[in-house]
Each structure stands twice: as C-alpha cells, then as structure tokens.
Structure 1
Amino acid sequence: MNSVLQSPEVLRYTAFSDDPEGGNPAGVVLDATGLGDAEMLAIAAEVGYSETAFLTAPSDGADSGRSWSTGRAYTIRYFSPKAEVPFCGHATVAAAVALGERLGPGDLVFFTRAGTVPVTVKQEGGATQATLTSVEPSVEEIAAGDLDEALAALDWPAGDLDPSLPPRIAYAGARHLVLAAATRERLARLTYDFARLEALMHRLDLTTVQLVWRAAAEVFHVRDPFPVGGVVEDPATGAAAAAFGAYARELGVVPEAAVLTLHQGEDMGRPGVLTVELRAGDRRVRVGGAGARIPA
C-alpha cells in the first residue's frame, strides 16, 4: 500500500453483488494512517460514492499484531461526501472483501464509532463474501408529527403504507426510519423533497430512510433515500439491513431465528442482494453478501 503521507491508495469495491455494475460502490483506503478528518472528507467527496471507508491500526494497539488465523483488527471510519457516519454496512463489506482478497478468508474485527463489529470473509462460488455482525440493536416508535413530515417529504399518502409493518426507527449501528409500502408500485415511485427530508433526518439523527415492500414471508425489496449523505438514494445499505432485521424480529414480523433476503438497487439499475440472519438467543444481526473490485 502507498503511504498516505504521500498519496493514499483509494480502492473502489462494490458490496452486495459479485458484479462491479451491481450492488453499492464504496471507496476503501486500507491504510489511512496520518489522514485527518478534513482530508478523509475531501477524499470521500472526490470519490463521490455514498461512503468511503478508512482503515488504520487500532489506536491502542490492541489486537493489531494478531495473526490472520485468529483475527485481524482495524479501526475503521466512514465518510460520505458530506459528513462522517458512525457505521456503514456496505463499506464494511467492501473493506472486508478488499482485505480478504489480499490476506485470504478468515475473521476480522472492525472498531467503529458505533462499537465493535466482527466480520467473517469466505470464498463461495468463486466470489468473495463478507458477513458482519452488528452492534446491539434497538427499535423505537416515531412521533406522529415526525411520521407525517416524513410522508409529506416523500409524497407518500398514509394509505399507501402497509399496516402490517408499522413505522419505527431502528438502530444497529446507525438510525434508520423504516417505512413499509403496501405495493411494489408504491416502492418503485420514488421522488421526494430532498431538502425537506434531509432536514427531518438531521433532526431525528437518521442515516437513511429504509423503504420496504414485503414480497414473501422472508423476502423484501428495499430502497434507501440518503439526502444527509448528499446522495439521493443508496443502492445497497448494510446498516439499514441490520436495523431492519432488528425491526422485523422486534415486531414479530419474522421468527426469532430467520434468514431474510433483501433485494435492493433494482430500481436504480444496480441490483444487489443482502442476506440478513437472525439467531435465537442473540439480539445482534448478521448481514452478508458478495463483493467485487471495480476496475479503474
């Protein structure tokens, strides 16, 4: 890797697809030593993806010398073109795939601003796959006035919501408002007031709005407006998928132990697939998918 004191090497990977034209692209800087906040933000803005991940050795040196077979630890930070975010699932997967291609399959530990996130990398069907384990999740209700404002910004009539999937704010490293569409057609029509939704999201400390439509018992189509990151829509959102897994279990939408399939990016022409695993007796949520390097 190049020394970041000279010029950081910025890799580009897609997450949740083995096709560089699918999934969600992320920038990855595997050695961000010496970069300050302003420099990382400038790099993320230049890359132009919804997030870029910046990795360094843990500041206290813990775990940094362990062998790959027992886990390799990194501090990781995430920047959108406009701001730092506490946790980003697709950039985590992208960074893990990039490391896995260099070091081989195995376990990683990422120290994020939201908490410690273990990641497992493996080879499957000729593709590199990464699965992250979320921090402790939580789910809370949204105030009626805030919900009305979100629907107004999205231009969604309340009658277009699926009553079996009530609105909630869910957290698994970052906060997301979960809104369920009653039909696939409603989900497909996404035009919204960027500034109005952005203002509400800043006030509620939301990273994205997780729009969902239930296609089958454990199959969902999802979309994620991301105006707070300077992006109209995120093509595949691992943090929101983890939050949605917590939501689905908390509300009894799915069994305590379940494997959910989330399809995202189809309406953007960048299809991706996110696998969300819920385990009995473990509140944390596992989110996995393939990744691939985007050619320069």
Structure 2
Amino acid sequence: MLLSPSVLITTVLAAVASAADTRHPDLLPLSQHDAAARNPAEQSARYWVDEAQAGIKSRLQLNKIEGKARNIVMFLGDGMSVPTLAAARTLLGQREGRTGEESQLSFEAFPSVGLSKTYCVNQQIPDSACTATAYLCGVKGNYGTIGVTAAVPRRDCVASLDNSTHVASIAEWALQDGRDVGIVTTTRITHASPAGAYAKVADRNWENDNSIVQDRQDPLLCRDIAHQLIHMYPGNQFKDLSDRLYFTMNLLQFSNTFDAYVTPYVSSVMPEASSGRDQQSLEYYCLQISNPDNTIKP
C-alpha cells in the first residue's frame, strides 16, 4: 500500500522530532575558562552588523589586478578538507585565548579564495593519488592511480602504457611555457601528492621497482615513480627537489631523512654512496630540506 505525499511528509517530520533529543542534546554549561574567553561585544546585534559591513568595505577597497602573473607558487596541505580547516581555525583561536571559531587562517585573508572539489571516479572516499591528478591535471582518475585517466584501473601496468591515458600537469604546462619548475615537500618526493606533478603510474605505491615486483608486474615495462622523476619528462626537467628516498642502489641511513631503498632493476641516481648528487639529472639536489622536526632547516 502506497502512502500519500501528505502522510509521507508527516511521517518523516515525526521521525525527526522524535530523534531531536538524542541528535541535539543539551550541552553542558561553559566552563569558567571558556566563558572568560568570550568577547562580551558578541552579545550585541550591532557587533555582528559592524563585522559584516567591515568585511564588505574591505572587499570593495581591493584594487583590481590588471597585470599578468609571472610565477605561481602552489601550497598544498594534504587532507585539508573543510572540516579540517574548521578544526585548525578553532585551535588557532583557542591558543590565542579566544573561543576559536572567530579566528581566521592566513590564506582566508587572500583577496580571492575558492573551493576545488576533488574525488576519485570509482570510489566515494578519495586518496592523495586521484586527488593530486584532479588538482594538478584537471582530470579525475581511479583510486590509487596518478597522472592517468579513469581508463587505467589500479595496478594495471599494461593499461598505463597507453599514452592516450596520460594527462599533463600544471608543471608540464609551465615547462612548455619556458618556466622553471620545482617541488619542496615535507613528505617524500615520490609520495602521491607531489608525484601528481610528474608521474604517470597505475599504482601510487610503485615508488620503487621493488614495489612493482611485489605486485607481480614488470619494473622494466612500467617504470617506478622515482625512475620517472629522474629519467623521464617532465620530472627530469625539474630544478629543485627535496628528498632522496627510493633513489639509491644501497640501503643507506641518513640523519634526518628516511632510509633509501634498494632498486636493483634500474640505474641509480647516486651509484656510489660518496658520489654526491647526479649532476646530469638534477641542477639542485637538497638532501635535508625535509626535516620533520625542523622544516626551516635546509
């Protein structure tokens, strides 16, 4: 038996009303510390009107940018979703002795701010690989793949060899325009997020050839991410890199860096431990720019 629209709506509203107590519980009163952090002016309606008018006035006073940008610096905080930003904003304000929600992150004061929706074609919750392809290449792909279209399933080595599935990144566009390109990262340079600038790979975990072998694929057929960065376009044109994980023949331990992994199938970037950087491959090779304990230290 079908319910009429009026009966259906009434049923839904009743269900919502009955769940109100559990979904919207009465919160405990603010502690003395939290109450002290509140701005007394917020109790006045005039305060909020003035806040809104000040924001509008600030926008109207912005000068229109007529010039053409010469360079682009792209900052990316991996995983910075809207809820994450809200939590960061609140924490910032609370550390400054306020309630938190009224705070503003530095980039929220930029003259132009927007949102970019990134996702995987085949999975509801995305990862750093398909989202890197989205925001660096403008194309949505499958979960776990980098720099290729959704025609390439994850771990499908053969499918990833089809050049028609390869998508160009903003780094490639910059190189084609005669500009220099570099990456500085607090993670490894072969991680999915920075790899979106240069890699075309069916699996984000194929950072070295051993990972490809573990998936029973041919590392001489499908090159790992580290190999692509050093020996293939566009990675081999980058000017500044900030990591050396997955690039050496021997298992070496460096202070303030990750271990380097064995890569027996490909020529090494640093054939000998004492040889320093490969001058043919990189103009600059920063060894310790990524220090998790002190990101300022080069």
- Report the TM-score, using the length of structure 2 for normalisation: 0.24
Q: Which has the higher contact order (CA 8 A, sep 6+)?
A: 1
| Rg larger in structure | 2
**Structure number with higher strand proportion:** 1
**Structure number with higher helix proportion:** 2
- Report the TM-score, using the length of structure 1 for normalisation: 0.24
